[in-house]
Amino acid sequence: MEFLGAVGNSFSFLYNMVTGALILWVLTVTATASAVRSLAEGRGALWGAMISTVGAVIILLLIQLIGVPEDTINVLNNFIIMTLGGLGSGLLAVALVTKPNAVEALKFKLALFNILDYAFVWLGLSSLSMIFLFLISKLSGRIVATDHALGSMLITFLFTFLSIVLLECRNKFAKWGESVGLGLFFLLLVLLVLYIGTLASVWSKAPGWILTLNSLVACSILSTSMYYRRRGVAPLLQP
């Protein structure tokens, strides 16, 4: 019994990490199924594909960041990609061959652009604040980020800024609005991977500053949105 207890303690850290990833996997599958069932008459398949894709990206990032052994990482990565990736691809294929009515298509486009508005504004302000943090720390002699990390954050901010400009001009692309929105959604995923990876490389050197700046950005966006909504004005980039 003591031997079994020692073995259990040795692998308890791995059990907790793998269990957490599997719990996120279950939540993602549940959310995907709920979206497909509740929005079956509209763009449920497309929402499901987006949810499963986001869930897969988040889980894969967490697996890389929590320090799971390499062999376990490979198994989990293959499992997540084959299940959530396959699910997302299948739902995307269904969405592409299914043509919703005009009302449902408009609802989907408005909801998608609403999500993109908030996500890109947050990412733009957050990446800009991180750039200033990196530069100020470098000038003060307490280097937080390498030149590579600074360059990655600059790339994130640049593409985020271009995406915000495109969102501002969305009415000029009304004919391709849904396609533009999906393209920006997948670009957002790529930028988030780059952003989170960059923060992970500098987290140990300035966790307090990173949390504080991101909290301030989130609070400012939330308070601004609530301010305009109380006055019946479209917040952020919404036309």
- The better pLDDT of the pair 29, 96 is held by 29
Helices vs. strands in the chain: H and E counts, helices first: 9, 0
Residue 36 structural domain: 1-100
- Tell whether 151 and 177 lie within a shared domain: yes
CA dist 193 and 61 (Å) reads: 7
CA dist 236 and 239 (Å) reads: 9
- Tell whether 9 and 113 lie within a shared domain: no
Query: What is the value of pTM for the model shown?
Result: 0.75
Q: Render pLDDT for 125-178 as a digit per residue (tens, 0 to 9).
A: 999 999 998 898 888 878 777 888 889 999 999 999 999 988 888 777 766 767
Provide the pLDDT for residue 235: 55
Kindly state the tokens that stand for 76: 């989990």
Half-sphere exposure of 63 (CA within 13 A, CB side): 26
Number of domains present in the structure of the chain: 2
- Tell whether 80 and 108 lie within a shared domain: no
CA dist 158 and 151 (Å) reads: 10
End-to-end CA gap in the chain: 67
Between the alpha carbon of residue 39 and those of residues 47, 105, 187, the distances in Å are 8, 12, 25
- Tell whether 50 and 152 lie within a shared domain: no
